[in-house]
Amino acid sequence: MQDIKIFWNTLLHAGRNLLPIILVVAAFQLFVLQSVPEGLTGILIGLGVVVGVALFLQGLEMGIFPIGKSLSNAFARRGSLPLLLGFGFSFGFAAVIAEPALIAVAEQAQTISQGHIDALTLRLIIATSVGLVVALGVLRTLLGWPIHWFMIGGYIAVVSVTWFAPPEIVGLAYDSGGVTTNIVTVPLIAALGMGLAASISGRNVLSDGFGLVALAVMVPMITVQAYGIYVFEIVGVDLAADALDLGEPDDAKSANLDPMGILMGLLVTVRDVLPIIAAVLFFQLAILRQRIPHLKRVVIGFLLVILGLYAFVIGLKLGLFPIGERMADQLIARDNVIFLYLFAFAIGFATTMAEPALIAIGDQAEQAAQGQIRANVIRLLVAAGVAIGITIGVHRIIAGDSIHYYVIGGYALVILLTFLAPRYIVALAYDLGGVTTSEVTVPLVTALGIGLATQIEGRDALMDGFGLIAFASIFPIVTVLGYATVADYTNRWQAKRRAADSPPDI
């Protein structure tokens, strides 16, 4: 009964995450477009994605999270640096390789690039990057190194590589950083960082515990751009030589709902989840040499993860991808860019306010900050940042501007604010940039960008279609750091005024 109650609550959470999208799309369909979208039945079936998300989360709670937490505590008690670093790498890699949002974006990239960007290769590169950076983040927490030097140096490297990267890969690379930290990775990585900071004497949970998520966002941007340099510069792929036909998707066919297609889809999902299972078995049985507690419950949890992930992917192909593409088509047909900007802003703000990972991180930050930070203020700032970022990203696609200047300018502003902002907020602000896009929002926003780039004459789906997720990750950092900087300056100015107005001691 307890598990049924938990699943029901999880289903409600998933539904709440999807509800803002439904409300925004319905409002635009009724009051702006004044039409019923084509293929409505398939879209409604696809919105059953919430069931997939709920099953997936239930499986995580039953199987993966308990083992992950117990392993973290066991290795922290042992105090072995090699074990902690190996554990950080393995769980960073395993969690990202099975990330639903990354799977969706990687498959879209493979389709649009006519297979020159391989989806599995892209995911392996990103997962390896995150594994290495989580290990580095564990070392940073153990040694107490300041996070801002890592972030400033890292984003200088990101911007430097962007100058040399081919335009076909830049938007995808920045989006890849934004989708690595989501439904699976955020809880595991955040729990690892905060758990380590809490268990080490002299560490502060707010300044030392946060930051792992931010590092996991940053490094894939570098490695994916390096992969793009190899594909488009060294190998010399020319996408212009092949005509790209995205066409109107056949929902039933693309979702592979025949018996053989369902079987193959489940086998692919097992392959995606296998690294997590392998990491758990290796560290539990080979390193700790302990039996897996509550084995039956854990096995059921992993089965739910597989079923939920498969249902999620099917829901994407039937529901969220068609919604994004058709909304782009319909709004462009209105020949009024104001509606496009309004839709982008509304989707960004509404979905972020309902993001469970953001709510969780905000509550944890409020507890750790002891009154310096309010969770509701954080959510408003981050939602505004995402809305502004997606709107700017849509403007870039409409205007046909190069993404290089936008992301370089955005991160230059982030680096400047990092120097100016109070130190206690820096790690949290960077982490918030990585938890702003949910497993539901990412596919919809990605489909919106690709739909815009496909429908607007002179735009390229690969060069211009990706990048919206990147903007949704950059600007929350700007809004949080900017607010903290202004608030800190205001508080110090008011303190000086009070000191000046108070009578001198006699």
401 vs 404: CA distance, rounded Å: 9
Q: What is the pLDDT of residue 389?
A: 93
Task: Find the Cα–Cα–Cα–Cα dihedral 432, 437, 439, 440, rounded to 10°.
Answer: 140
Q: Report pLDDT for 223.
A: 92
pLDDT at 422: 86
Non-local CB neighbours of 299 within 8 Å, separated by 6+ positions:
63
What is the C-alpha separation between 303 and 321, in angstroms, rounded?
Answer: 26
Quote the CA–CA distance of 301 and 198 in Å, as a whole number.
28
Tokens 């409300």: give the residue: 23
pLDDT for 441 equals 67
pLDDT of residue 140: 82
The whole-number pLDDT of residue 385 equals 93
pLDDT of residue 245: 44
| pLDDT given at position 244 | 43
Q: At what angle do helices 81-97 and 259-281 cross, to 10 degrees?
A: 170
> How far is 371 from 376, CA to CA, in rounded Å?
12
Distance CA 78, CA 84 (A): 9
Q: Write out pLDDT tens, residues 189-205.
A: 666 676 667 666 677 66
- Write down the pLDDT at residue 388: 94
Of 411, 437, 68, 434, nearest to 216 by C-alpha is: 434
Q: Are 382 and 476 in contact (CB under 8 A)?
A: yes
pLDDT along the chain (506 residues), means of 10: 68 70 80 69 62 74 69 69 82 78 82 86 91 84 78 82 86 81 64 68 68 79 91 70 43 57 78 76 79 79 80 72 76 83 88 69 66 77 91 92 85 88 81 68 79 86 84 89 88 82 64
For the chain, domain boundaries: 2-493
Q: What is the pLDDT of residue 207?
A: 64
405, with CB counted inside 10 A (0-12, 13-18, 19+), is exposed
Sign of CA dihedral 464, 465, 466, 467: positive
Per-residue pLDDT, 393: 92
Whether the CB-CB separation of 481 and 421 falls below 8 Å is answered with: yes
Q: What does the pLDDT read at residue 394? A: 92
b/e map of 432-445 (b: 16 or more CB within 10 Å)? bbbbbbbbbbbbbb
- Residue-level pLDDT at 354: 65
| Each residue's pLDDT tens digit, 341-374 | 998 898 888 878 766 667 666 766 676 666 667 7
Phi-psi region of 111 (alpha: psi -120 to 50; beta: other; left: phi over 0): alpha
CA distance 6 to 455: 43
